Amino acid sequence: MAGGKAKEIEKEIEKEARISEAEVAVHWGEEEYIEPPEEIKRQAYVTDPTFREKFKEENFPECFHIYADLLDWDRYWHTTLDTSNPPFWKWFVGGKLNACYNCVDRHLKKYGNKAAIIWVPEPEDEPKRVLTYYDLYYQVNVVASVLQSLGLKAGDTVTLYMPMVPELPITMLACARLGIIHSQVFSGFSGPACAERIIDAESKVLITIDGYWRNGKWIDHKKNADIAVNVAAERGHKVEKVLIWQRYRDRYNSESKPIEGRDFLMKDLLKEHRGKKVPYVPMPAEAPLFIMYTSGSTGKPKGCVHSIGGYLAYVAGTCKYIHDIHPEDIHWCMADIGWITGHSYIVYGPLALGATVLIYEGVPTYPDPDRPWRIAERYGVTILHTAPTAIRLLKKLGSDPSKYDYKFRILVTVGEPIEPEVWRWYYTAVGKKQAVVLDTWWQTETGGWLCAHLPGVEPMKLGSTGPGALGIYPVIYDENGNEIPPGSGKAGYICIKNPWPGRMLTIWKNPERMIKGYYEKFCKNKESKDWRDWPYIAGDAATCDKRGYFRILGRMDDIINVAGHRLGTKEIESAALTVEGVAEAAVVPKIDELKGHVPDLYISLKDGYEPSPEIAEKVKMAVRNIIGPIATPAHVYIVPDMPKTRSGKIMRRVLACISNGRKDFGDLTTLIDPSIVEKIWEIVHGEG
């Protein structure tokens, strides 16, 4: 067969395999709709079934004024949507605003004495901390004054490497007050992973903490921060200053002592700036608010840059009209602020609306799996927001919500597909059938929700996310960009036909990657300035039913979703290749009862190296140390060779089949040595 043709067929097989694998991963087939409880129908912001019409295509893009008008603008915009440079859309052009002002200052008059943040520490004998909006205003100003005194100004970048403590949102908002672009790195990432993000963002200042509690253990975080700074230095990037918060105000609790001239305790800096007020900086709507790194199909994480105006409008709008967050609500999103969910639905969205957010240290299952319901009862949580992984784990560990007296209105699920039995437990046991389960589908790149139903007027569908969120028009395309009609039952690429204000502005220092990764494949005309020619490709497989509800099946690309965390296969493979003797590495998703998927890693060795449990362990540890514990492979299999095509490509779908105990390998004729498949099977499953 001619080389070109062979490649084409191979590509076909790969694509097909990905879709069917995703389908197998979450195959339930029910078509069950459940009406919202009567009380929610009465209470919700949106009780008018025709509300969605305000966001119809004829009203686009002006429909998003409904969202932007939730904010206070220093200068109103002159152009709602500028499409002159597709796909780098700009929203609310000409407008000026400040995110910190919108999340803090403007609430003082009405809600100054209301709790903005309730912080629940992990040790249960430690008191909670409550910050009213006034407290938040006071502290954000002092921190902003510190940042300003270091010479930081609008447009500079600062990396934050912090766990779930109130000082994290305080620091983010202090940056936003001055127009400084923050880049918060998930505290569970390793030092080297943090270094990579510091270097890419070109941050000269790192803000971190001495340590924190997780799962009953004290994590010495400053040690990781030091690794980050050292690794960055080895790669030629100097972090000039490290600011260190303390988990306990009266003591510094890390084996890594502050380094003279480089490290500064926030406690000391704050003292010098006590009581200072810093005027907020009115910023252009299309200026960056923050960078959030996420995994892509290459080994290098992508820095998604989110805007001040469009992003803030979008998260405030979805929080009000879909999430249904009222100022009286106590909203608890269990996500880590180090992920986009925390940025959008703990910090910026709810605080823009003047709500009360609960933030907790630790994990839901420690000291016991009833912790979430104890917290809900004690603090009067009315909205819970979490991922299927947490729900699965709590259910499995015998968590018993019935013993606790709380009342939820809204239960959000996000990050992964949710299986019917997990959904039912969430709705029935956790929500006591009094709350709406809101399955929200979106991504780091999208800033806010893309699919979700309106909780007060539209039914829930078990295991499906909703229709497009307000003003979002999703569509499913087949491999050739032809629309798959709703109700056909066929899976394809879920795409969004139109721009929306929450989408990232660009990829930090790599705009080309945005075009390539999200637009190129289905762009109808690259010369066109019409947004209709530029659908956004999410990279997920989905189906759409007749009613327009989408069911997300899983990723179509080289990304693995582990417990709702997104990991790039290339990142894991590159980490494995750092171990001496490893010749090749391939990682595939293995279906897991609790985490959705876990990474299974296959490696082959260079000549002269013998397989041994030590090498496998070294590889496991390398992945853990280079990326972080979440990426640790479930298994490392040492194989004599990889299943490779004649063009040298590793057929990962074959390895995925083996990991998942399936023998429906599909066509193996393009493999150089088809017999290797049986050999690998034996290594994984034993003979026979």
Binding site for ligand PRX (CB under 6 A): 294, 340-341, 414-417, 439-444, 465, 538-540, 552, 555, 561, 566
Q: Which is nearer to ligand PRX, 203 or 443 (CB)?
A: 443
Residue 524 CB, nearest approach to ligand PRX (Å): 23
Q: Does the bond joining 420 to the residue before it have cis omega, within 30 degrees of 0? A: no
Going by C-alpha positions, the residue among 112, 144, 108, 147 that lies closest to residue 280 is: 144
Residue 176 CB, nearest approach to ligand PRX (Å): 21
Q: Which is nearer to ligand PRX, 107 or 652 (CB)?
A: 652
Residue 390 CB, nearest approach to ligand PRX (Å): 13
Residue 420 CB, nearest approach to ligand PRX (Å): 13
**DSSP secondary structure, 12-40, as one string:** HHHHHHHHHHHHHHT------EEPPPHHH
Nearby residues of 45 by Cβ (< 8 Å), 6 or more positions away? 320, 321, 324, 326, 456
Q: How far is Cα 179 from Cα 107, in angstroms, rounded to an integer?
A: 20
Residue 464 CB, nearest approach to ligand PRX (Å): 9
Residue 561 CB, nearest approach to ligand PRX (Å): 5
- The gap between the terminal CA atoms of the chain, to the nearest Å, is 34
Q: Which is nearer to ligand PRX, 229 or 656 (CB)?
A: 656
Going by C-alpha positions, the residue among 463, 312, 407 that lies closest to residue 43 is: 407
Q: How far is Cα 225 from Cα 244, in angstroms, rounded to an integer?
A: 10
Q: How far is Cα 171 from Cα 311, in angstroms, rounded to an integer?
A: 19
Q: Which is nearer to ligand PRX, 504 or 523 (CB)?
A: 504
Q: Which is nearer to ligand PRX, 141 or 318 (CB)?
A: 318
Tell me the Ramachandran region of residue 29: left when phi exceeds 0, alpha when psi lies from -120 to 50, beta otherwise: left
Q: Which is nearer to ligand PRX, 356 or 561 (CB)?
A: 561
CA atoms within 13 A on the CB side of 378: 13
Q: Which is nearer to ligand PRX, 294 or 389 (CB)?
A: 294
Q: Which is nearer to ligand PRX, 247 or 461 (CB)?
A: 461
Q: Which is nearer to ligand PRX, 226 or 419 (CB)?
A: 419
Residue 417 CB, nearest approach to ligand PRX (Å): 4
Strands (E), 103-229: 115-120, 129-132, 157-160, 181-184, 205-209, 211-214, 217-220
Residue 447 CB, nearest approach to ligand PRX (Å): 10
Strand 157-160, strand 205-209: pairing: parallel
SS3 538: strand
Residue 659 CB, nearest approach to ligand PRX (Å): 19
Q: Does the bond joining 350 to the residue before it have cis omega, within 30 degrees of 0? A: no
Q: Which is nearer to ligand PRX, 212 or 442 (CB)?
A: 442
Q: Which is nearer to ligand PRX, 87 or 417 (CB)?
A: 417
C-alpha separations of 465 from 411, 417, 494 in Å: 13, 9, 12
Query: Is residue 378 within a helix (H) or strand (E), and if so which, with residue range?
Result: helix 371-379
SS3 452: coil
Q: Which is nearer to ligand PRX, 148 or 444 (CB)?
A: 444
Which residue type is seen at 403?
Answer: K
Backbone angles phi, psi at 327, to 5 degrees: -60, -25
Residue 555 CB, nearest approach to ligand PRX (Å): 5
Residue 280 CB, nearest approach to ligand PRX (Å): 28
Q: At what angle do helices 3-25 and 652-659 cross, to 10 degrees?
A: 30
Residue 64 CB, nearest approach to ligand PRX (Å): 20
Which residue type is seen at 575?
Answer: A
Q: What is the 3-state secondary structure (H, E, C) of 162-175?
A: CCCCCHHHHHHHHH
Residue 350 CB, nearest approach to ligand PRX (Å): 16
* Tokens at 342, concatenated: 């925390």
* Tokens at 448, concatenated: 């806010």
Q: How far is Cα 401 from Cα 423, in angstroms, rounded to an integer?
A: 15
CA atoms within 13 A on the CB side of 188: 18
Q: How far is Cα 74 from Cα 106, in angstroms, rounded to an integer?
A: 12
Q: Which is nearer to ligand PRX, 169 or 463 (CB)?
A: 463
Q: Which is nearer to ligand PRX, 116 or 437 (CB)?
A: 437
Residue 451 CB, nearest approach to ligand PRX (Å): 7
Q: At what angle do helices 221-234 and 191-201 cross, to 10 degrees?
A: 50
